[in-house]
Amino acid sequence: MLLVLGSCSSKRRAAKSSPEFTLIETAKSYRGTPYRYGGTTRAGMDCSALVYHSFASVGVKVPRTSAEQSKLGEKIPERKIRPGDVLFFATGRKKKEVTHTGIVTEAQKNKVRFIHASTSLGVTEDYLKSAYWTKAFLFARRLELK
């Protein structure tokens, strides 16, 4: 007799063999990398470089800046965000200008976690519903993965 036990979880995660999984694991491999404006290496990188390198790991070429990255893919309503989607934020003085980006690592109802390069903490994960990020959030986009 074979007994299979499974668990039910509301967290949506990328399947281990999916491009989304590779994308997210690549992004997570940069955790702890210090922030450096314009930086593109493990010695220091900015938010758009994290997105650039992570998508390159699955064969998707994206522009180098968050403003240009924000023009790609399909705009996604917040309630339909899933792992691998890209979030865009206005963290500067202009409330509608894209200045920051991150990649969704986990998504469930009202609980979206994303990885990004923070100016104070380097590459780290945060929740979209934190007071700071909720206020700065502009929109999400989904890029087609290969």
Residues labelled catalytic = 47, 100, 116
Q: Are 100 and 120 in contact, with CB atoms under 8 Å apart?
A: no
- Distances from the Cα of 71 to the Cα of 27, 66, 123, angstroms: 21, 9, 23
| Residue bearing tokens 């996604």 | 76
Residue 125's H or E segment, with its range, is strand 122-127
- What's the chain's Rg over C-alpha atoms? 15
Pairing of strands 44-45, 74-76: unpaired
- State which amino acid sits at residue 126: D
